[in-house]
Structures are given as C-alpha cells and as structure tokens.
Structure 1
Amino acid sequence: MEICLFAGNANLPLAQAVAERLGVGLGDALVRRFADGELHVQIRESVRGRDVVLLQPTSPPVDEHIAELLFLADACRRAGAPRVTAVVPYFGYARHDRRASGREPVGARLVADLFTTAGLSRVVAVDLHNAALEGFFSIPLEHLSAVPLLSDAARPWISERSVIVAPDLGAAKLADRHARLLRLPVAVVHKTRLSGEDVSVHAITGEVRGRSPLLVDDMISTGGTIEAAVNALLAAGCAPDIAVIATHGLFVGPAMARLSALPVRRFLVTDSVAAATGAAIPVELVRLDVLLAEAIRLLHDGRSLEALLARGEAARPPR
C-alpha cells in the first residue's frame, strides 16, 4: 500500500519537508474558502487503496485549521482510502482538558470525538500539553516528544552554571526530562494565573542566583508566563544570560512585544507550527521532519514505534 501525504494550510513548509524525507510528492488537494467563508476541500488524485497521511497542526487560527483537517479526512475516507492518519504536530485545545467552572465545554474531548467522526484511523501528536489527553481518544494516539531534539540543540551553549527552570508547576516534569538529558539542576517558578494573558509569580524553588537559566515549557503563546518567570529570575539574582526552550512557538497576541523587551539571548522552538514572520526576537528552529517522517514510515510498515518513543521516554523520570 502506497503512502499518500496531504496537508492543509497550517504548515506547508513542514509538510513539504516530511514528504521529501519520505521520498513522495505532496498530494494534490484543493483547500480554499468561498466568498462567504465556507471551506471547500477537494482531493484531486486517487486515494483508493492508499495509506493516507494528513499533516496539519491545529495552530492559530485553530478552528479554521481543525476544520481543514476534518474536511480532508472525510474527503479521503469517502474516496476509498482504507486508512487515514492525522499527523498533528501541535494539538489545539489541549489546554481545554477539564472544566475550570461548571458551565464550560471540555474542548479537547470534543475535538478528539470530531477526529473519530471524520474517519481518522490514528493520530500522531508531538508534546501534548497534557499527556492524559490520550484517554479522550477512541482511536490510537501516538505521542512523540521533541525534548531530545531540543536538548541536543541546546547542548553546545550550556555551561556548568546553567540551570533548567520550569516557569510553572505544570512544566516541572518537562524540566526534569531536559535536566536528565543535560545533567543540570532544576528550579521551579510558582505562579498564579490572573487572566488568559497575565500571571503573578510568588516564589521560586531551587538555586538560581548567579546561574544562567534555561526556561523550558511545552509552548509559548502570549508570552505572559515567560515574562513573569524572567522578571522573577532577574529579581532573584540570576545571571543576565537567559534562554527559553519550547516545543511549540505560537507567539500570538502581545507575545513579540513582551518578549522583545526581555534580556533573553535566544528562543529555541521546533517548526511544529509555521514560523512567525518578522520576528523581533532571536528565534532558532529545530526541525521535526526527520522525527515525523520516521514515525510515518514505521506506522506504514506496520512496525512498532517503541524505539522512536524510547528516545522521548529516556528523558522521562522513572515511574
């Protein structure tokens, strides 16, 4: 069964890079909007009897990119594809995994149900905001990690005075994984979220005075968490030699203005989402095409992802 790779409009450069790694051409699909805003998707080549892979991060605008993925999946299923796999490097709504108050939806569960309804057979994701999201899916979910890639990219510029810093308690396990790979100590910033964009820091656990912090998180969205953490670290006497590492660099809303005002020497993120244009901050990209292409090839051949997943698990603390 031949691999056929299609992509929506969310991250065409990554899709093209993965296609090249696989030695296939990017599939011919029309994905556009009518004048009234309705989405129109058309698969313009045969997928009958082919192993279809759809590459689409559900990044901002999240709803539009989710709709593109769902329409592509439904079109391929109706055209006779026996198996349709969604490779979703960034999974939108991952933070909507519970109700913060009594009258809210569980958005992540709803999106997972929509994936199944659209006819997807399997989902491949990278560094979900909450690994427990796997329980929301009734279809297999393969959870890859970019932590080893990011740690390897950071290794040349760390020193014996470096310290891994989690900007909040939610990132503490992620910080431990980076620390195990880079053999560095860990500090944790304790924050209180005031709104969707603003946070307040009230304590730091761990030694940061005179050290060079490497702030690590799964994503950078509006930059509020990073801004608060950096200011707290500077107030605690850290060295003015700060770096930020995250899998997903969204950089939305006030992020660029906020982060460009901080003494951060580099931001290291993957290309899970399309790179921000005209970035006012020093952003370095780590490519995911090799990781994603290898996962696709293993799944296509019916082989286990154990060795691939073990690279990320090696960075996880023992359970």
Structure 2
Amino acid sequence: MKVISTERSQVLASRIAGALGTGIVDVKFSQFPDGELYLAAATPDDEMVIVGSVTDNNALVQLLLLIDACEGSKNHLVLPYMAYARQDKKFKDGEPISARAIARLFKHNLADCTTVNIHEPDVLKYFGVPTRNISVGKEVGAYIKTLGLDNPLILSPDDGALSFAQGVASAGGWDCDYLDKTRISGTEVKMAPKEISSKSRPVVIVDDIISTGGTIATAAGMLYEQGATDVYAACVHGVLIGGAYSHLKVSGIREIFCSDTIERGCSRISAAPCIAAALKH
C-alpha cells in the first residue's frame, strides 16, 4: 500500500503515510493554457490510498483525474473535506442536491471512501462505494487541553452542532452547551449559551466548518459582554473565506485553530492518525 494525493493535500497525505508506515507516490501537476488540468503520477502500487480534499472545482477535477490515473489498483479514497456538502437538501424548487451530485462522482475505480466530519452524515448514502465518516472531535479536545484553560465552556454555534461539541468536551470532561439565538427585533439578535453561563470563564466555540466566521464573531462580542474571560474558535475544516481569520481576530477571538483537512497556517490538529487508524480496520 502507498499513498498518493492531490496538490492541496500533500501535507496531510504525508502524515497519513507516516502513520501507516508506507511511502508516497510522486505526482506532477500542471495546467494547460486553456485552463484544463493535467497530472502525471509515478507507477502506483497494487493498493493505493488516494487523499484529496475538495475545496473548489479545480480540486474536484484534479481528484477525479488522480483516481483515474490509479486504474488497476485497489483504491481507498480519503476525502477529508468535501465542498458542496452543505447543500444536502432542496431548499427551493429547481435546486440540485449538490452534495448528492458530488458524492455520486465517486463510484468508479474505488474500493471504499473515508470522510472526515462531513457536514451531514446522511450524504454518505449517495456515494457509489462503501463510505464511512470519522470524527476528529477528540483530537480538537486534546489540543484545547494544551492551552491550559481553567474550566472552559465548550459551545457549539447551534443545537445542530451540539453532538460534535459534546465529543470535543468529552476529551477534558468539560461543560458543554450551544448558543441559543433570541430575536430582539427585526434587526437585532441576542446569542447566549442555552443553559450554562459563560461568566468568568473561557469559552471555546467549536464547529465542523468555519467559513465566513460571521456568526462566531458576533457571538464572541456578546459572550464578552456576558462576562466571558476569553473566547477561542475551533473547527475541523478551516474554509476561512473572505478575510474570515482577520475578522475573527478583530472580534476578540484569542486564537483560531483547525485541522489539516484543509491546509492552513492555523492548522494545529492533524486528522492523519484517525484516518490511518480507520484505514487499518
């Protein structure tokens, strides 16, 4: 077994290879003048782990090309992050279920697929091969331990992400709650923990994805008003578009950290050990 990766998942792939005790297959990437993508891989092994986060359309095409290049091998796809996963149902007539459309692409030349904290686990049924979803919640919790926080409160932005927050909180036996939103007026919304006060304690807001960071930035300001001593933000997938990192820092967030499913400067947690463990079973 060897590991091969798309251009934007090289760091995570090398860590997975290290955890598996195996090597990496070299790949050369380029682009034609008309925008078409090209890649050329060295000779694949009989069994391959193909690693590629789908962060945008080019990453998707590159991953499909890489899977095709590994024809003839027993291929295990690792999809650390899948764009379009949040469009998991039709909200208006005429809309596609984008997550379903993308998942259905992964059915040729694959033995199985592993995803990491996919936004909606129900999407797994659309993949054309056996697919499992793993969580790095405990790893996020392990990193929080290194911060040395005194009695932190772990918060999810809403009740839908509470189960993930509970997994994070279990790593340290910490209190866990979710942000409850109360509409004060047509333009004003108050956010506060549903049950547990944040007064005089540090708070860590955790979610599977931080994209624009708008909700977390607003919540941070309100938590400080409610007496929180410090506010941190953590996620698995640091999409961080449109200046999100700077926006969060300006809002008073002490530290923003994520995993390496999308490789960022603030990637403090690696999904590689969890992925390697899943591939071994």
TM-score (norm 2): 0.89
Question: Is 1:56 paired with 2:52?
Answer: yes
What residue in structure 1 maps to residue 268 of structure 2?
Answer: 285
Amino acid at match of 1:129: H
Q: Distance in 2 between matches of 1:259 and 1:46?
A: 42
Q: Is the 8 A contact 2:249 2:255 kept in 1?
A: no
Please, which of 217, 235, 239 is the counterpart of residue 227 of structure 1? 217
- Once the two structures are superposed, residues 245-271 of structure 1 have per-residue CA deviations (whole angstroms, 9 ceiling, x without a partner) of 211112211202311202222223111
Question: Is 1:100 paired with 2:91?
Answer: yes
The residue matched to 1:31 in structure 2 has which SS? strand
The residue matched to 1:11 in structure 2 has which SS? helix
Q: CA deviation at 1:160?
A: 4.9
Gaps of 5+ in 1: 193-198, 277-282, 299-303, 305-319
What residue in structure 2 maps to residue 269 of structure 1?
Answer: 258
Q: Is the 8 A contact 1:150 1:245 kept in 2?
A: yes
Q: CA deviation at 1:158?
A: 5.0
- Once the two structures are superposed, residues 153-178 of structure 1 have per-residue CA deviations (whole angstroms, 9 ceiling, x without a partner) of 21243545421111123212212222
Q: Distance in 1 between matches of 2:128 and 2:270?
A: 30
Q: Distance in 2 between matches of 1:201 and 1:179?
A: 26
What residue in structure 2 maps to residue 45 of structure 1?
Answer: 43
Q: Distance in 1 between matches of 2:274 and 2:166?
A: 22
Q: Is the 8 A contact 1:201 1:228 kept in 2?
A: no
Q: CA deviation at 1:69?
A: 0.9
Gaps of 5+ in 2: none
Number of equivalent positions:
275
Residues 284 and 111 (structure 1 numbering): CA distance in 2 closer, same or farther, change over 3 Å? closer
What residue in structure 2 maps to residue 312 of structure 1?
Answer: none
Q: Distance in 2 between matches of 1:100 and 1:200?
A: 25
Residues 245 and 273 (structure 1 numbering): CA distance in 2 closer, same or farther, change over 3 Å? same
Please, which of 64, 70, 73 is the counterpart of residue 76 of structure 1? 70
The residue matched to 1:114 in structure 2 has which SS? coil
Amino acid at match of 1:289: A
What residue in structure 1 maps to residue 200 of structure 2?
Answer: 210
What residue in structure 2 maps to residue 144 of structure 1?
Answer: 134
Identity score, percent: 27
Q: Distance in 2 between matches of 1:174 and 1:201?
A: 24
- Once the two structures are superposed, residues 126-174 of structure 1 have per-residue CA deviations (whole angstroms, 9 ceiling, x without a partner) of 1111122222223111211111111112124354542111112321221
Question: Is 1:295 paired with 2:278?
Answer: yes
Q: CA deviation at 1:294?
A: 2.9
Q: Distance in 2 between matches of 1:272 and 1:7?
A: 12
Residues 259 and 122 (structure 1 numbering): CA distance in 2 closer, same or farther, change over 3 Å? same
What residue in structure 2 maps to residue 67 of structure 1?
Answer: 61
What residue in structure 2 maps to residue 184 of structure 1?
Answer: 174
Q: Which runs of 4+ in 1 moved over 6 A?
A: none
What residue in structure 1 maps to residue 9 of structure 2?
Answer: 11
Q: CA deviation at 1:212?
A: 1.4
Q: Distance in 2 between matches of 1:153 and 1:203?
A: 26
The residue matched to 1:84 in structure 2 has which SS? strand
1:134-173 correspondence runs (5 A): 134-173=124-163
What residue in structure 2 maps to residue 20 of structure 1?
Answer: 18
What residue in structure 2 maps to residue 252 of structure 1?
Answer: 241
Please, which of 216, 232, 251 is the counterpart of residue 243 of structure 1? 232
Q: Distance in 1 between matches of 2:18 and 2:146?
A: 28
Please, which of 85, 98, 101 is the counterpart of residue 110 of structure 1? 101
Superposed CA RMSD in Å reads 2.1
Residues 227 and 38 (structure 1 numbering): CA distance in 2 closer, same or farther, change over 3 Å? same
Q: Is the 8 A contact 2:41 2:69 kept in 1?
A: yes
Amino acid at match of 1:58: V
